[in-house]
Structure 1
Amino acid sequence: MSQSQESAVMGAQERINTYWTGRAPGYDEYQQRPDRLADDTRAWSKIWAEALPTAPLEVLDVGTGTGQVAMVLAGLGHRVTGIDLAEGMLDQARRHAAAITNGPVIRHGDAVHPDFPPASFDAVVSRYLMWTLREPETAVANWVRLLRPGGTVAVVDSTWFPDGLDNASENFADHYDSQVRAALPLAAATSIDQTVAVLERAGLTGVTATPLTSIFELDRRFGVAPNHEHRMQYLVSGWV
């Protein structure tokens, strides 16, 4: 990548960070909806318990956002570090982590280039990151480098905008402009197989995409976030 291309990509990343910092309070409020919170916690606890080996593991949650996954994993007994680049999201995640014993460690960090020594973790996880991740091939290769033998990469995402972000019911146009979208290969993915392929090309073994029917049903019962559509989500995972 040339210096000008790298500058453009990092400029796009800065706009993404600014967007999610602004979204953080409302995003967290929706995640913590009291009418659904207990059901969500049970469902996600089961999903992550089945996705990863038995606790305690050293787990890195990349693009942790408000820390929802990190908190669930800590509740399962894992030792969790969550990283993100959006300061507003980190503020929310730190607040949640401070409220429990043995909560996750929340740090400022780049999901594409996590700053940890090789073989630091037993698992690298993410939720709702892949679609808005620049350089996913580089990112997953770096995640693999961080894994110990037998370690797992497990990501949750969907095909949120198969018709393109210009046609999204949520208005991203002012933030996810053409330069940002050009930096995000999976933003308008039409099939979860595109995410599967990224993990496979990183050398992971046994990569599978599992539909999360429990979350689909919760979304049907409680409704989805404003300006979102009801879509199947998937757990995509493999191991080294």
Structure 2
Amino acid sequence: MTTTDQALTVQDRIDRYWSDRAASYDDHQRRPDRLPLNDAAWEDVWAEALPPAPATVLDVGTGSGYVAFRLAALGHDVTATDRAAGMLERARQHAGDGTRVPRFRHGDAVAPDFNDGAFDAVVNRYVMWTLRDPVTALANWRRLLRPGGTLALVDSTWFPDGLDADTTDDFVRWYDDEVRSALPLAPSRSIGDTADVVAAAGFRGVTVTPLTRILELDREYGAAPGHEVRLQFLVRASA
């Protein structure tokens, strides 16, 4: 890591990594051989997790917008945020001139800048493991939800052997020792760690559902380059 890199905050370094990865990450998400099956499977996941459409939904850490577009396709009114400029650029490119598309905004997943009670649901996918402060994030998400609002997040135990398992140059550069030490959920061996944090933040009725259909697709088509196939989970709760 250069001296210039070291001057960046932990979150800035995380943002740089994901911004640099935006093109390859998005291309993998939208592989044409898998895309129709992927869209159908994920729309079923979110349809079962969220209130009936149209609901006002905030997708924090949206990346290139894959989840946000699936939610919009289900009829929801979607706002989506991310701090990685490269990811947001990709998401906005996909928005095009559609009649029902998410609103994409630059924003911090840990401290989203919206009014209290502004949303029926807050969602995210593959965000919890890389949050620098999940306790604060969850408290803020709960504040944004209307009474009885829904939290629905998807994640897995991506690094049960520690983040040192990823030795790719970009990951090592940006996810340095300081960043790794700031991510409490990254080395979790059980999705129960995430569910426990959700409950501790005051959410009720926390449930954990294994996403076996997504696992089957990953086994058939392969995980992202450099990643192992792992069972993913939907964690759902109410404010």
Tell me the SS of whatever aligns to 2:173.
coil
Match of 2:143 among 142, 145, 150: 145
The structural deviation recorded for 1:98 is 2.5
Q: Which amino acid aligns with 2:128?
A: M
Equivalent residue number for residue 219 of structure 1: 218
Q: Which letter maps to 2:46?
A: W
The equivalent residue for 1:179 is: 178
Q: CA deviation at 1:34?
A: 0.2
Count matched residues: 233
Q: Which runs of 4+ in 1 moved over 4 A?
A: none
Deviations 1:147-205 (A, max 9, x none): 00110111100000000011236552222110001111111111100000111011111
Structure 1: tracts of 5 or more residues without a match: 1-7
> Cα deviations across residues 50-101 of structure 1 (Å, max 9, x unaligned)?
0011100000000000001000000000000000000000001111123422
Query: How far did residue 10 of structure 1 move?
Result: 7.2
Structure 2 counterparts to residues 50-129 of structure 1, below 5 A: 50-129=48-127
What value does the CA root-mean-square deviation take over the aligned residues?
Answer: 1.4
* Partner amino acid, structure 2, of 1:238: A
Change (3 A) 1:151 1:200: same
User: Matched residues in 1 for 2:136 and 2:96: separation?
Assistant: 32
The alignment partner of 1:173 has SS state of helix
User: Which one-letter code corresponds to 2:47 in the other structure?
Assistant: A
Counterpart in the other structure of 2:209 = 210
2:173 alignment partner AA: D
| TM-score, scaled to structure 1 | 0.94
1:238 equivalent in alignment to 2:237:
yes
Distance 1:57 1:193 in 2: 28
**Aligned mates of 1:101, 1:30 — CA distance in 2:** 25
Aligned partners of 2:166 and 2:172 also within 8 Å: no
Partner amino acid for 1:224? A
